[in-house]
Amino acid sequence: MKILLIISVLFLSGLNGFGQKTQDNFRGNYFNISEFNKGKIYNFIDVRNKDNTHNWQMYYKIESSDTIFYTDGLDEKNRVIEVFIEKVQADGTKMMEYYTINYDSTGASKKVTYDIMSRNVYKYTEEKYPLTWSVLSRGQYGREKLTKKRTIASKNETQNIYNKSYNCLVFRDEFSVEYLDINQVYNFYQLSYYAKGFGLVRYNRFMQDGKELDYRLLKIIEK
């Protein structure tokens, strides 16, 4: 299974409405979806390899009175290669759909869908953690299951954004890629940093082979 850009981060958040309560202490560190009606692009750069960048295009829609948040992963030609869709609820968000788009040498595209085994993405209250979600697909080795377990690593870390220091909430995200039909497993983890007013600003990923990727928010492009 490819280690995909969006689904391996899964940073999506909720609207700042729905009768916020004091115990919703994690709500403010996430994207304020009400500011994404025209869309924004978050540009991340790997500080260990500055040729390696990720662009995420984010926006929301109101569909049958539900707030649906979309995140599109873009390739170097600004083509959509991933789409992650979630529904914003009173206590957090849940996964509604996920798919990727592959392009051949002629530019023709093919959509690849994923079955959702567990839908919980993010909760606003500390007591709801740890959280686990999983998806299932079929690849060249048969059935492939991707699972992520999210736990709280720190509630008081700082990061510099636009030359200013911000306090961050940090999660430890443990991933497991299981190739069910050949009985093989690949594991890795990352630390995900969320700052108030920005949402995700850094994800530091540690691969099973010892490789480290350290993506940090470089700029936000308003649509």
Give the domain ranges of the chain.
27-222
pLDDT at 130 over 80: yes
Mean pLDDT score across all residues of the chain: 87
- State which fold the 27-222 domain adopts: YmcC-like fold (2.40.360)
User: For the residues 87-115, what does the mean pLDDT come to?
Assistant: 91
Nearest-angstrom CA–CA distance, 122 and 15: 12
User: For the residues 7-34, what does the mean pLDDT come to?
Assistant: 59
pLDDT tens digits, one per residue of 170-179: 999 999 999 9
Q: Cis (ω within 30 of 0) for the bond into 130?
A: yes
pTM: predicted TM-score of the whole model, two decimal places: 0.84
pLDDT tens digits, one per residue of 57-66: 999 999 999 9
Residue with tokens 């994404």: 36
Confidence at 22, pLDDT banded by 50, 70, 90: very low
Question: What SS3 state is found at 19?
Answer: coil
* Amino acid 213: pLDDT: 96
- Reading the block at residue 32, the tokens are 């304020």
Residues 6+ apart with CB under 8 A from 114: 98, 99, 100, 135, 136, 137
H/E run at residue 179: strand 164-179
User: For the residues 141-161, what does the mean pLDDT come to?
Assistant: 92
Closest CA to 214 of 54, 205, 223, 58: 205
DSSP 38: S
